[in-house]
Amino acid sequence: MEMFWGLAVSAILLGCTYTLVAIGFSLFFGVMDVVVFCCGDIAIFGSFAIIGAYAVAQSAGLFGVFPFWVCVILLILIGAVFCAAWGLITHQLSIKPFQNSSELMPLLSTIAMGTVIKEGLGLLFKPVVNTISAAFDRESAVTVVSGRNPQGFPSLLLPDGTVGARYLTIIVITAVILLLLFLFLNKTKMGMSMQAISQNKELSLMTGINVSRVIIITFLIGGVMLAVSGFLVGSYQKLMSFDDGAMYGAKGFSAAVVGGLRNTWGAVIGGMLLAFVEVFVSGYIPKGTAYSSIAAFVIVVIFIVFKPDGIIGDKSVEKV
Amino acid sequence: MNGTVDNTLEISGLDTSYGRIPMLRGVSLNVPSGQVCCVLGANGAGKTTLVKAILNMVKADRGSMKLEGKNMDSWPTHKRVKSGIAISAAAVGTFHKMTVEDNLKMGAYYIDDSLLQERLGEIYQSFPVLRERLRQKAGTLSGGERTMLAIARAVVNKPKLLILDEPSLGLAPIMIEEVFEIIRRLRATRQMSILLVEQNAVKALSVAGCGYVIQKGAIAFSGTADALGRSEFVENPVM
Amino acid sequence: MSGKTKLLRMFFLSLFVIGLLIGGSSADAAESVVKVGFLGPITGSDAAEGAAARNAFTLAISEANKSGEFPFKIEVIEVDDQGTENVAVAGAQEIVSDSDIVAASGFWNSGPAAAAIPVFKEAEIPLLIWGAIRESLTNKENVPYITRSAPTDKQENIPLAIKVLDEMGYRDWFIVSDVSSYGDGNLNAFKAELAARKITPIGEEQVPEDTTDLNAVVQKVKASGAKAVYCGSTVAIGSQLKRQLNDGGVRDILYCGISGMKTEDFLKIGAEPAEGTLVVSPGIILEDTTEGSNFINLYNSQGYSEPIGAFTPYAYEAALILIKSMRACEGKPTAEAMTRAILDSKTTGIMGTTTFNEIGQTENVAAYLNVVQDGKWVPLDKSEYSQGGKRAFGGK
């Protein structure tokens, strides 16, 4: 029984990291009708931005000036700014130009954007961080050996707390983000507009929603969510690799598909389902770990075949 | 400022195209203020293109449009809506996963909350059927209720120009009767001009003061509703 | 025969001679350069090892150039295989297509090595493997073109097994590896050692290479009641597993593994989670020998940003073997002469004397154990974990 609960906690934590990426997918799909394949890479970019900003903040002596928690929030904000910027760049460069072409185009161009983000991290993370941190203080400058090496994620989340407390915080932060997202989507004009565009783009135009503005804001907000995801993944995983984004992207996308691509709550359930399948296959089947990812993707295929609308089936779609 | 503006909407020499294929050719059309004007035409004649061009959802190649005398050629869609053009298009549907109430609120995108409550109150008076369905998802409404919702949503804004795009589409005769009753009430009680785009000529002419016929992307007839009713276009069933 | 014809013949003959002279002189110019290839994961998740090895290899070559011993200049064609197979094959093709190439040294990852070996065999260019340890890379079919100066996974697992099974006496094992050929090779090598001692592991898992969340494995270890965990994988999974075991409260165990984990990146998980990790390293403790210390000093004086890793001395040693083999060639080294010379070579470098057996595998097997102590890799014998020391491994 102890093992069951241990596995359940692991699954929930893993599910949290998948969920936030999956929500990125479903937000973008909702307003643009395209699968933005670089969500995972943007999230990993966020965690690298936080690692880099932490290194720079240390050389700049920021941690001596402000209280620790202020620094943590600042670092997360920096990650959020970077990810929001990437969200915007992705929209402007690899989605908007292909609006009127085949659906495959933005698919390919966002995969390409993911490669740009990933390889960019591998190549530029080292010179950029080293240059900025050396500019502050030559003595205590942080030297990143290579952007392609695994990077240690700083202990920003309850560095003195127990492991259990840290896990709980990750779950709570995810829950709070989901709650905020829920309130935003249902209680604000902007959130309602996003839903409107997702449900009926033509009618949204007719009701006077400034659709292009809402789309841009969606990409900014999606970027911020991915940054928080990157922060949580980093805090949970401790060691980040520049190419982790592909795996998170694949898992996040699968979770979004299982949940029904447009459905934000489906993304939560999809993320959790995927994580539970993975963890329990790995945990309860002898030598099962090698097959855990396969099991998760089998679930996705089953959903695509038998329930393409996702777990929260959307039966009330109007045929227009 | 002009003291009086006779026409709510003035379109002159409008050309549009779909890719390289021309759609509308030299369309000129006026909607006098406070009146109901109908546009008749067969499927594919260009009625929907005209409606979308008025909202700039289809780009005009040539020609100009004025709303209450103000040139609006450069205005994007959302600015045209904000300036007082509302559209109710049966074919476009509703926000199916939102409640009826939220659908109405989306129509009132530019109205602040207190005014919104007042307007919603008025709407429920005119559309009692919607009041019973406020918390229901729009996707679960019947066809007639959906048309009511689409009209109500457009009216919440109290537009200067209301465009009704085929409100009778796919409705049972009894519902069509009800829809036109609402149009009559709007004409009688509100200070808004209505552009009624219809295939059902008899019904449309029963409420309209002036009429246009659009054929193959060009205006084939313009005049009063009476004149249109007596013309070959209405009597000829081929139209 | 008319004088005119004679004149024409003279003319063409002189053209021919001039052509020979020009051709000859250009051949002379080419002779002054001899090229060797270097392949390794200079970037990618194994970059710490690959880049340090590249540094050491080029360092040895540039020392040889500086010494003025050879009448030609040795140039290195560096290829970054990124630890992936297709990149490695492309890189190998780039190397063998250079007409001045006489030998190459490469590979830290076994998969890319296996993929690229046919390219070298086909082109008949000798490849000396400096860091990939899968046993099957050297074999009867691959000799004489493929040789290896690093120990195999089997050779590497033996000293570890002797230490933890025979000397320390752990019996309750949970063994983990990744699904790559490296992980597979290690898993099988260690399992063979267990089987030889009639021990059945109480748990066994292979994880996909891109796995970052190993908590399910941690829970399994916890439930199994294992006293010792063996991890036959590289640093990415080795470090994540150790950290998550620690986070999951599985602390009172022995955690041991293979040289692929012994990089500076492993220590990034933090001093406390990393503490007590025992890994086997190929080679010798450099500080303990004169040649080793000289190498450390030489390497550190160059200002490289990558510190010396487990296989860095092997890359240096590989370059020394190539240089020694060039000496054995008469005159200008050719690929053909080098193939023979490498296999027959006997090189005393920084880690003892390397000779090759009939399948091209080194006969010089040196290995020692390392442990993480206070966030640093320390040779076991010099650590507080050594016998009678202040610290003890878990699971006892």
Q: What does the pLDDT look like over C82-113, one tens digit per residue?
A: 888 999 999 999 999 998 999 999 999 989 99
Render chain A in DSSP notation, one character per residue: -HHHHHHHHHHHHHHHHHHHHHHHHHHHHHHHSS--TTHHHHHHHHHHHHHHHHHHHHHTTHHHHS-HHHHHHHHHHHHHHHHHHHHHHIIIIIIGGGTTS-THHHHHHHHHHHHHHHHHHHHHHHHHHHHHHHHH-TTT----S-TTS-EEPP--S-TTS-HHHHHHHHHHHHHHHHHHHHHHHHHSHHHHHHHHHHH-HHHHHHTT--HHHHHHHHHHHHHHHHHHHHHHHHHHHSEE-TTHHHHHHHHHHHHHHHH-TT-HHHHHHHHHHHHHHHHHHHHHSTT-GGGHHHHHHHHHHHHHHH-TT-SS--TTPPP-
Q: What is the DSSP letter of B33?
A: T
Residue A239 has pLDDT above 60, yes or no: yes
Decide if A4 is inside a domain: no
Of residues A314 and A98, which shows the higher confidence score?
A98
Domains: count for chain A: 1
In 3D, which of C76, C15, C84, C2 has the Cα closest to residue C47? C84
Which pLDDT band holds residue C16 (cuts at 50, 70, 90)? Answer: low
pLDDT in tens, A159-172: 888 888 989 999 99
CA distances from A150 to A146, A229, C61 (A): 9, 18, 29
CB A104 within 8 A of CB A35: no
Render B97-127 in DSSP notation, one character per residue: TSBHHHHHHHHTTTS-HHHHHHHHHHHHHH-
* C154-282+369-382 matches C32-150+286-365 in CATH topology: yes
Q: Which residues of C touch A155 (CB under 8 A)?
A: 270
Residue-level pLDDT at B213: 92
CA distance A81 to A247: 23
Output A121-128 pairs: Cβ under 8 A, ≥24 positions apart: A121/A44, A121/A45, A121/A48, A121/A147, A121/A242, A122/A146, A122/A147, A122/A148, A122/A242, A122/A243, A122/C43, A123/A147, A125/A48, A125/A52, A125/A151, A125/A242, A128/A52
Q: Which residues of A touch C219 (CB under 8 A)?
A: 3, 6-7, 10, 283
Residue-level pLDDT at C6: 55
Residue-level pLDDT at C13: 55
Residue C12 has pLDDT above 60, yes or no: no
**Subunits in contact with chain A (3 or more CB pairs closer than 8 Å):** B, C
Report CB contact under 8 Å: A6, C248. yes
Give the pLDDT mean for C320-347. 92
Residue of A146, A153, A162 for testing the chain C interface, max C β-carbons within 10 Å? A146
Quote the mean pLDDT of chain C.
88
Query: In angstroms, what separates the C-alpha of A309 from chain B's closest C-alpha?
Result: 14
Residue-level pLDDT at C26: 41
Residue B3 has pLDDT above 50, yes or no: no
CA distance A155 to A239: 11
Residue A312 has pLDDT above 90, yes or no: no
Q: Which residues of C touch A9 (CB under 8 A)?
A: 215
The answer for residues whose C-beta is within 8 angstroms of residue A52's C-beta and 6 or more apart is: A125, A128, A129, A132, A144
**A20-24, A143-147, C170-174, C358-362: the lowest-pLDDT one:** A143-147
Residue-level pLDDT at C11: 53
CA distance B9 to B16: 18
Of residues A149 and C130, which shows the higher confidence score?
C130
- ipTM (interface predicted TM): 0.89
Return the sign of the alpha-carbon dihedral for residues C74, C77, C81, C82.
Answer: positive
Decide if A170 is inside a domain: yes
Angle ∠(B6,B11,B16) on CA atoms, nearest 5: 170
**A42-51, A142-151, C146-155: the lowest-pLDDT one:** A142-151
Residue-level pLDDT at A16: 93
Give the pLDDT mean for A167-180. 94
Decide if A3 is inside a domain: no
The answer for residues whose C-beta is within 8 angstroms of residue A195's C-beta and 6 or more apart is: A30, A185, A186, B95, B97, B98
Report CB contact under 8 Å: B95, A203. yes
Residue C29 has pLDDT above 50, yes or no: no
CB A198 within 8 A of CB A263: no
Which pLDDT band holds residue A313 (cuts at 50, 70, 90)? Answer: low
Residue of chain A minimizing CA distance to B170: A320
Q: Do chains C and B touch (3 or more CB pairs under 8 A)?
A: no
Decide if A136 is inside a domain: yes
pTM: 0.79
Decide if A318 is inside a domain: no
Residue of chain C minimizing CA distance to A280: C216
CA distance A14 to B109: 40
Domain C32-150+286-365 matching CATH 3.40.50.2000: the answer reads no
Residue of A31, A187, A206, A216 for testing the chain B interface, max B β-carbons within 10 Å? A206
Residue-level pLDDT at C274: 94
Residue of chain A minimizing CA distance to C245: A163
Which pLDDT band holds residue A136 (cuts at 50, 70, 90)? Answer: confident
Residue-level pLDDT at B239: 44
Give the pLDDT mean for A198-206. 91
Query: In angstroms, what separates the C-alpha of A314 from chain B's closest C-alpha?
Result: 9
Residue C81 has pLDDT above 70, yes or no: yes
CB A193 within 8 A of CB A38: no
Residue-level pLDDT at A319: 33
In 3D, which of A99, A124, A119, A122 has the Cα closest to residue A109? A99
* Conformation bin of residue C126: beta by default, left when phi > 0, alpha when psi is -120 to 50: beta
Report CB contact under 8 Å: A196, B106. yes
Residue-level pLDDT at C156: 86
pLDDT in tens, A87-103: 999 999 999 898 878 87
Q: Give the domain ranges of chain C.
A: 32-150+286-365, 154-282+369-382
C308 forms bridges with which residues in the sheet? none
- Cβ neighbours around B21 below 10 Å, total: 7
User: The domain C154-282+369-382 belongs to what CATH superfamily?
Assistant: Response regulator (3.40.50.2300)
Our measurement of the distance from residue C100's CA atom to the centroid of its chain's CA atoms, rounded to an integer in Å, reads 24
Give the pLDDT mean for B166-182. 88
The answer to whether B143 contacts chain A (CB < 8 Å) is no
> Domains of chain B (ranges plus CATH)?
7-235 (3.40.50.300)
